[in-house]
Structure 1
Amino acid sequence: MVIRHHVEGYEEFLKFMDKLQGDGVIHVLFSGTKLPDGNSWCPDCVEAMPHIEKGIKAAPENSHFVYVEVGDRPFWKDQKCPFRTDSRTKLNVLPTLSKWGTQKRLEGDDCLKDELVEMLVTDEDD
């Protein structure tokens, strides 16, 4: 079973990932912060969630799935947003699903393709 985590904001994300490092396969989903209705402000993220949820079910036993809320829309749209500028994340698009510690990631519309999501989460070649 996949171990799920939820993190809000850049600083919390860094602290969390430092503690989690070296602890098996880690997949990270970067998404816009959730609104009071429970959905992200990012419509592309909302559209991608069912596909990501379906794909994550195929991830290896005891792998980690970290859902990261990057912030509100103005914070994300700022080109100096730390999620954009940090060499570990280098985000350009929301949603982004990545295999942490590798260059493997799906961005934007690729997160809508069930077969690509499943391929990313089941890939064992590094």
Structure 2
Amino acid sequence: MVVRHHIEGYENFKKFTETFPKDEVAYILFSGSKLPNGSSWCPDCVEAEPFIQKGLQVAPAESHFIYVEVGDRSFWKDLKCPFRTDNKTNLKVLPTLARWGTQKRLEGDQCLDVGLVEMLITDEDD
């Protein structure tokens, strides 16, 4: 079974990735933070979530799925947002699903395609 993690904010994300084992496979979903109703403020993230969850069904049992809440809308829209400026994340759009430690990622509408999500997850070629 895929190991699931939930992280809120840049500092917590940074601390997590600094201690995460480099030999472990991790898929990270960057999404807008959740509102009190449990859904992200980002409508594109809400729309993509079921497709991503379905695609994750093919993930190897020993892999990790990390859900990262990047912050509220105003924090994300700031061009100086650390998720945008950090060269390890280099986010341009939400949602973004990435295989950590590689250049492999799906952005925005690409996350609505279960086939693409499955391809990202099953692609072994680093």
TM-score by length of 2: 0.98
> Counterpart amino acid of 2:25?
V
Q: Which residue of 2 aligns with 1:15?
A: 15
Deviation at 1:21, TM superposition (A): 3.0
Can you list the C-alpha shifts for 1:39-82, whole angstroms capped at 9, x where unaligned? 00000000000000001111111100000000000000000000
Task: State the match for 1:124 in structure 2.
Answer: 124
CA distance in 2, matches of 1:90, 1:37: 29
User: Alignment identity in percent?
Assistant: 69
Partner of 1:58: 58
Aligned to 2:27, the other structure's residue is in SS state strand
Name the SS for the 2:79 alignment partner.
coil
Kindly state the Cα deviation for residue 24 of structure 1 after the two structures are TM-superposed.
1.4
Quote the residue 2:91 is aligned against.
91
- For 1:40, what is the secondary structure of its paired residue? coil
Runs of 4+ in 1 over 4 A off after TM superposition: none
Q: Quick one: which amino acid aligns to residue 19 of structure 1?
A: T
1:75-125 per-residue CA deviation (whole Å, 9 max, x = no partner) reads 000000000000000000000000000000000000000100000011111
Partner of 1:105: 105
- Count of paired positions: 126
Aligned to 1:49: 49
Q: How far apart in 1 are the matches of 2:21 and 2:40?
A: 27
Supply the AA of the counterpart residue of 1:75: F
Scaled by the length of structure 1, the TM-score of the pair is: 0.98
Q: After alignment, is 54-63 or 83-92 more displaced?
A: 54-63
**Mapped pair 1:24 → 2:2:** no
- Quote the residue 1:72 is aligned against: 72
Which SS does the other structure have where 2:58 is aligned? coil
SS of the aligned residue for 1:57 comes to helix
Q: In angstroms, what is the RMSD of aligned CA positions?
A: 0.7
The alpha carbon displacement at 1:23 in A equals 4.2
Determine helix, strand or coil for the equivalent of 2:48. Answer: helix
